[in-house]
Structure 1
Amino acid sequence: MPKSSTDRPTAPETVWLAAGRHTGPAPQQALREHLRELKNSETIQDFLEPENASTPDGHVFEARWLVDDDVTVRARLVTDGRDHVDAERRWTLAAEAERPWDLSWPSPATMFWPEKSDISWDRDSVAGLRLQDINPLPKDDAALRRMLKDIARHSWSINVVVHEAMTPDPEGRLPLTRLLPPALRHRVVEHRATPEQFHAVNWALGDLGTSVPRGGAVILSGTPARVGFDEQAFRVRSVFLDGSEPTELLDKVVQFAALPWPLPDDAAAALTALRQDWRLLTLEEELAHARALAASYSEALEAMTTSRDLYREATELAHAALAEMAEYRDAVSAVRASASGQDRHPLTKTLQRVTDSLLPRRAPRADTLQAARESEERARESSG
């Protein structure tokens, strides 16, 4: 059974997450070359392609850089492991800063991928839609409905549907995502519906419980829905596609991005891998890691030593108990033999030995000892 929004952890404010597709050849080579250029220009502090980090499911790259001069960002990008030259490859990127994320900071995607090049990496992971361009909605109604369902349920991106009230001029055909803060430009997919698609797109959006105003825009909730999402609050009645800045829509996208995001399973896994499998350590971090390992080994050794001493003590006590039981068994056998009439005088000695051996452990009651002595005297008299 899928987890509900309330069962899922939400993305921390320090984290930036994105997933996309690379549609061109040799993504790993492109990543290496771009990371090397950024390190040489000191845009990033360092990067690493960890040895043995590649698996059948992915190839790993790590990078570290500073924002605002003193805030460290650590990021981990994984491309899937298929080796087909022309096949599309999914990539996931998780980045975490030392303080809550500022949307004015550079997009972590551009710290791995070259922002302006012929490399086709900036596609949404679900439908292969452009992250920095306009995506016309399909003309076929069934394809339109299927695509909107897929992106609403599986895309990590913020999906915005804009309806054109009339066919826009060249200025209106520029993507609105270019006006967003840098850290949002690779997390938003802009869909456009033509004027004649108004009824078809709202028919398809009806499956998702929303609609787009004529000549306006709507932000899809995603799955799981963001905490505090209100469908009416993220609809814009008018978007003027004349080259002017659609301030209301841009503000809505920023507000939506700030809502707590219950992480899908694969996004949660990407964040966990960033935190637990990180290998690009500074010298200070390596020293701290070595100290932590030494402390852990010391605790384990101490626990093993304590366990060994306890085991030895328990063994000694067990042997002592077995010896006492054997002695007691021999004494009981002697008592029974004496009582059968074979020898009366050894009975006294046996009882005395048993009594002496038990005295240090448990002082017998006086009336019990008196009864034992009287029984002994009667035995002597009867034997005489």
Structure 2
Amino acid sequence: MAKSSTSSTTVPDTVWLGRGRHLGPEPELDVRRNLLALKAAGVIDDFLELDPIEAARSTDMFPRDASADAGPGARRVFEARRRVGDGVTVRAQLTTYGPESRRSESEGVTWVLAAEAERAWETDWPSPATVFWPDSDQVAWDHETVPGVRLRAVNHLPKDDGALRRRLRACARQSWFIHVVVHEAMTPDARGRRPITAFLPPSLRHRVVEHRATPEQALIADFAMKRELGVGLPRGGAVVLPWAPHAPGYDAERFTVRAVFLDGTEPTELLRAISEFASAPRPLPADAEPALARLRQGWHLLTQEEELIHARTMVTRYAQALEAMTASCDLYREAAESALAALAEATGGNDISTPIAPGAPRQDTSPLKTLTKTLGLFRNPHR
């Protein structure tokens, strides 16, 4: 199973990241409908849809970082701008990717979402996922990239020990989301079967995946988690899983809750542990770096003020480029004139095509060597 390495860079506190799968037939149509509805309602300021090739071609004449491109397999790029809180602007970019092969077509369309605010993210702000996806169970956009796992739902751990360990391992190494495992001390009623994530603040609601271990899975789940991740699962309690096995700085006791009552009441202690874990610095996943770079360097949805600033910047850059080209032409011209002067001096003012008389002594320095030496002086003027 593929491993997702992390970089030494941490996720900026202004950034919201998400990656999942849409299992429906027309994911882009669902995005368009949601964006149109939100703009008509005044929830978002504006949005833009781009073909990945069009997005890559709409760059300036100056090359940008390659990570700003959507990458292979990209289907569409959507951008949206909204204001949250007391007028803080949030820019969000969603890219959809087709299946890598026919064998993976049943796994749906992968989507990557990166959003950034003008200041540090606050948990009571709306989830950026609801800008592009409707917050409705009718649209299956909320599936994890790990098969069999879904956001906004209770995910029961597999019964088989091997399958359980594989799922935990995949969630820790591949997922961009926060994973929480809750043990059911006894089979809950309808109120207790509600996802705990429903109690989370809006901005955290679509960043947390909830797993449940049934009453009879207490020992097997605890053993598997200790073996794979180095953390235990208290009977009738819960634990927030580390980002990766043996993650540095992770304190299992700090993110373990000894008792969680699944009776429909708000699990205050568990919510506190999840919020504290979410606010702690997190290494930026290596496969998330292109998404963040694309958001910052490949942004197209500009306001009028931003377009004016951009135009002025481009005028300055064009002028600098023209000045540099002119300076280069002047340098080349001066070098050519000096080279011709040196060549004339070396040949005594004669045409270099004049044959040398038979028996005449051959000079040590040829015109070609003289020209090369002269050009070398311009490359290294301090010699």
- Scaled to the shorter chain, the TM-score interval is 0.7 to 0.9
| Helix, strand or coil at the partner of 1:215 | coil
**Which residue does 1:31 correspond to in 2?**
31
Shift of 1:223: 2.8
8 Å contact 1:212–1:218 — kept in the other structure?
A: yes
Task: Structure 1: give runs of 5+ residues left out of the alignment.
Answer: 338-384
**Which residue does 2:128 correspond to in 1?**
108
8 Å contact 1:59–1:81 — kept in the other structure?
A: no
Shift of 1:169: 2.5
TM-score in terms of structure 1 length: 0.81
8 Å contact 2:144–2:150 — kept in the other structure?
A: yes
| Helix, strand or coil at the partner of 2:253 | helix
Q: Map residues 220-299 of structure 1 onto 2, 5 A cutoff.
A: 220-223=241-244, 228-299=249-320
Q: Deviations over 1:134-158 (max 9, x none)?
A: 1111111111111111111111110
Q: Deviations over 1:198-245 (max 9, x none)?
A: 111112112211111111111111238766322221111111112221
**Which residue does 1:361 correspond to in 2?**
none
Q: Map residues 1-384 of structure 1 onto 2, 5 A cutoff.
A: 7-51=7-51, 52-53=54-55, 56-82=73-99, 88-205=108-225, 206-223=227-244, 228-327=249-348
Alpha-carbon spacing, 1:172–1:141, altered in 2? closer, same or farther (3 Å): same
In the alignment, the residues of structure 2 paired with residue 64 and residue 77 of structure 1 have an alpha-carbon distance, to the nearest angstrom, of: 12
Shift of 1:312: 1.3
AA of the residue aligned to 2:268:
T
| Helix, strand or coil at the partner of 2:232 | coil
Higher helix proportion: 1
In the alignment, the residues of structure 2 paired with residue 81 and residue 28 of structure 1 have an alpha-carbon distance, to the nearest angstrom, of: 11
AA of the residue aligned to 1:221:
P
Alpha-carbon spacing, 1:156–1:87, altered in 2? closer, same or farther (3 Å): closer
- More relative contact order in 1 or in 2 (CA 8 Å, sep 6+)? 2
AA of the residue aligned to 1:150:
A
Shift of 1:290: 1.4
Task: Structure 2: give runs of 5+ residues left out of the alignment.
Answer: 56-69, 351-355, 361-383
In the alignment, the residues of structure 2 paired with residue 151 and residue 165 of structure 1 have an alpha-carbon distance, to the nearest angstrom, of: 23
Which of structures 1 and 2 has the bigger CA Rg? 1
AA of the residue aligned to 1:162:
V
Q: Deviations over 1:29-62 (max 9, x none)?
A: 1110110000001000001102434863331111
8 Å contact 2:21–2:142 — kept in the other structure?
A: yes
Identity %: 55
In the alignment, the residues of structure 2 paired with residue 210 and residue 295 of structure 1 have an alpha-carbon distance, to the nearest angstrom, of: 56
TM-score in terms of structure 2 length: 0.81
In the alignment, the residues of structure 1 paired with residue 178 and residue 323 of structure 2 have an alpha-carbon distance, to the nearest angstrom, of: 52
In the alignment, the residues of structure 2 paired with residue 255 and residue 67 of structure 1 have an alpha-carbon distance, to the nearest angstrom, of: 22
Q: Deviations over 1:87-107 (max 9, x none)?
A: 511111100000000100000
| Helix, strand or coil at the partner of 1:170 | coil
Aligned length: 332
In the alignment, the residues of structure 2 paired with residue 60 and residue 223 of structure 1 have an alpha-carbon distance, to the nearest angstrom, of: 30
In the alignment, the residues of structure 2 paired with residue 29 and residue 307 of structure 1 have an alpha-carbon distance, to the nearest angstrom, of: 51
Q: Deviations over 1:117-145 (max 9, x none)?
A: 41111122223422112111111111111
In the alignment, the residues of structure 2 paired with residue 152 and residue 68 of structure 1 have an alpha-carbon distance, to the nearest angstrom, of: 32
In the alignment, the residues of structure 2 paired with residue 65 and residue 79 of structure 1 have an alpha-carbon distance, to the nearest angstrom, of: 20
| Helix, strand or coil at the partner of 1:172 | coil
8 Å contact 1:226–1:262 — kept in the other structure?
A: no
8 Å contact 1:127–1:151 — kept in the other structure?
A: no
In the alignment, the residues of structure 1 paired with residue 3 and residue 214 of structure 2 have an alpha-carbon distance, to the nearest angstrom, of: 35
Alpha-carbon spacing, 1:40–1:328, altered in 2? closer, same or farther (3 Å): closer
Q: Deviations over 1:293-336 (max 9, x none)?
A: 1111111111111111111112222222222233399xxx9xxx
In the alignment, the residues of structure 2 paired with residue 195 and residue 81 of structure 1 have an alpha-carbon distance, to the nearest angstrom, of: 39
